Amino acid sequence: MPNHDHNGDVYVYNQTRETFVATQATVADSYFSRLIGLLGKTRRWAQLGKGLWIVPSRGVHTIGMLFPIDLIFLSKQKEVVHVEEYVRPFRISRVLLKATSVLELPPHTIYRSRTQVGDRLEIARMNKKPAREMAPRLAECESLVREEKAG
């Protein structure tokens, strides 16, 4: 059964490092959306700022995917409990019992955001009050993404 509090795109902010992990992450919280995940997506999906938050999940696979991804495993409190960088297609991640969700991200996102085990993440929609307080930082991050794409 989907958790309707998670529907829609969210941003992911690393509160510990004060960096954005994703500015536009889709939530996969139904059986079907978790099953499909990133299957069928092309390398074009793997742009800086994108992400897929799989809730609930304790592990994932990249069988049938066309590009590598980074993985961040989160506890119920959104604390990073494990990371896997540059997971190539046709692999199976570790399964962590202490994880309740997994973020699938473009390759090198973990390195760029300096995310490490033990970090605390904030995951919210922009229409929530705490998220609105982050809007100036989000706008700055999105402008950096546009500059990186252009240059």
Q: Class of 4-150 per CATH? A: mainly beta
pLDDT in tens, 32-59: 888 888 877 877 888 889 999 999 999 9
* Positive/negative CA dihedral, 79, 2, 106, 102: positive
Average pLDDT, the chain: 85
Q: What is the pLDDT of residues 118-146, one digit of tens each?
A: 999 999 986 654 555 555 666 666 666 66
**How do residues 73-95 score in pLDDT, each as one tens digit?**
999 999 999 999 999 999 999 99
Residue 103 to residue 27: CA distance in whole angstroms? 9
Report how far residue 13's alpha carbon sits from residue 125's, in angstroms, rounded to the nearest whole number: 11
Average pLDDT for 55-75: 95
What's the confidence (pLDDT) of residue 38?
82
Of 43 and 151, the structure prediction assigns the larger pLDDT to 43
Quote the pLDDT of residue 95. Answer: 96
What are 143's two structure tokens? 């402008």
Sheet holding 69-74, edge to edge: 80-87, 69-74, 101-105, 50-54, 19-28, 10-14, 121-124
**Polymer length in residues for the chain:** 151
